[in-house]
């Protein structure tokens, strides 16, 4: 009964958000195009910035709720972005993690704050929306971690997320739609036991953002993931669909803020009749991104 009530409330929230966006759309103000580099929360756009541009970015991500017990995982990523040449962006970052885990099946109880690791994100734009029917960028983000983002255990983990990002202004200077396709293989070794694991996650995401006034965009993202044991997609482990709103605010000429939230609306795991996969994924995900040019 509780699950049904939550589903009704979620449906009502989606309808209300859609109605608000629809009501605001006629009053949207035309501007000099929409830069998609930072307007999405969990997704990425095809824009990569202009030559010589430098930015500092803070990305706070929260993941909450598993099958039972208490599960909270917060990551704080600090990044520096550079555009050394036309259509090419470089980003280097470091991440800290905080975990609060208690009574979750299959996970040790932990409450800790730790330095997780380092990352490098490279993006190259192959198609520019101004000269092509749509924008297209390929991104490769490599990370090396010493703490597992899910279990908080000490590990030696290496992975790379490959993303193909496409976007197009469906209403010029007012609304932009984006598609992300991703593949992320990961190698993990646990020094305490000597065990090693290989897994991979593939995903597809759709996003739509509407400029309701200059520097303010509202919209949402729908993200679908499939988890596999083995980097060659050897054995299916689970799948999940996340849906939620996104908001972007241009705070000043040099600063910006993006906020996004997603709820697992549907999921499935082999051998389970549950309509959510709360073993491989969380029930809720949230993200807050603050950036400034320097």
- Phi/psi of residue 5, each to 5°? -65, -40
pLDDT band at 33 (very low <50, low <70, confident <90, very high): confident
Q: What is the 3-state secondary structure (H, E, C) of 68-126?
A: CCEEEEEEEEEEEEEEEECCEEEEEEEEEEEEEEECCCCCCCEEEEEEEEEEEEEEEEE
Distances (CA, A) of 274 to 67, 69, 150, 213, 229: 10, 17, 21, 42, 20
Residue 29 clears pLDDT 60, i.e. is over it: no
- In 3D space, the residue among 189, 218, 221 whose CA is nearest the CA of residue 203 turns out to be 221
| Residue 178 · residue 36 · CB < 8 Å | yes
DSSP state of 22: H
Q: Tell me, what's the pLDDT at 32?
A: 55
Is residue 21 pLDDT above 80, yes or no?
no
- Do residues 222 and 205 lie in contact, with contact meaning Cβ atoms separated by under 8 Å? yes
Query: What average pLDDT does this structure show over 114-136?
Result: 97
Lowest model confidence (mean pLDDT) among 9-13, 73-77, 103-107, 174-178: 9-13
Copy the structure tokens of residue 271.
């051998």
Q: Looking at residues 278-289, what average pLDDT do you find? A: 98
Q: In order of start, what are the domains of the chain with their CATH numbers?
A: 2-49+114-289 (2.40.160)
User: Measured in Å, how far apart are the chain's first and last C-alpha atoms?
Assistant: 52
What is the SS3 assignment for 294?
A: coil
Q: What is the pLDDT of residue 97?
A: 98
Phi, psi of 86 (to 5 degrees): -55, 130
Is 42 within 8 Å of 262 (Cβ atoms)? yes
d(CA 2, CA 196): 39
**Which bin fits 254, alpha (ψ -120 to 50), beta or left (φ > 0)?**
alpha
Integer CA distances (angstroms), 141 to 42, 59, 66, 196, in order: 14, 15, 27, 22
Q: Which of 204, 127, 222, 203 is nearest to 167 (CA)?
A: 127
């Amino acid at each position: 009964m509780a699950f049904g009530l939550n589903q009704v409330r979620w449906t009502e929230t989606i309808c209300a958000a859609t109605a608000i966006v629809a009501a605001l759309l006629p009053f949207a103000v035309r501007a000099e195009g929409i830069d998609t580099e930072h307007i999405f929360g969990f997704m990425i756009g095809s824009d990569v910035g202009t030559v010589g541009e430098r930015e500092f970015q803070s990305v706070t991500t929260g993941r909450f709720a598993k099958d039972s017990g208490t599960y909270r995982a917060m990551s704080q990523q600090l990044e520096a972005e550079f555009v050394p040449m036309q259509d090419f962006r470089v980003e280097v970052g470091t991440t800290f993690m905080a975990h609060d885990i208690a009574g979750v099946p299959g996970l040790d109880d932990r409450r800790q704050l730790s330095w997780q690791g380092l990352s490098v994100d490279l993006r190259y734009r192959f198609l520019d929306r101004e000269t092509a029917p749509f924008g297209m960028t390929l991104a490769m983000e490599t990370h090396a971690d010493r703490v597992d983002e899910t279990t908080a255990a000490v590990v030696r983990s290496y992975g790379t997320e490959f993303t193909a990002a496409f976007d197009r202004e469906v209403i010029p200077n007012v609304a932009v739609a984006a598609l992300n396709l991703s593949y992320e293989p990961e190698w993990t070794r646990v020094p305490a036991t000597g065990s090693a694991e290989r897994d991979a996650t593939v995903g597809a995401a759709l996003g739509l953002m509407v400029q309701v006034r200059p520097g303010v965009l509202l919209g949402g993202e729908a993200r679908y993931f499939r988890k596999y044991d083995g980097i060659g997609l050897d054995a299916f482990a689970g799948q999940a669909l996340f849906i939620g709103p996104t908001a972007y605010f241009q705070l000043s000429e040099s600063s910006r803020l993006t906020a996004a939230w997603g709820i697992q609306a549907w999921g499935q795991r082999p051998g389970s009749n549950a309509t959510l996969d709360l073993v491989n994924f969380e029930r809720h995900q949230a993200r807050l991104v603050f950036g400034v040019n320097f």
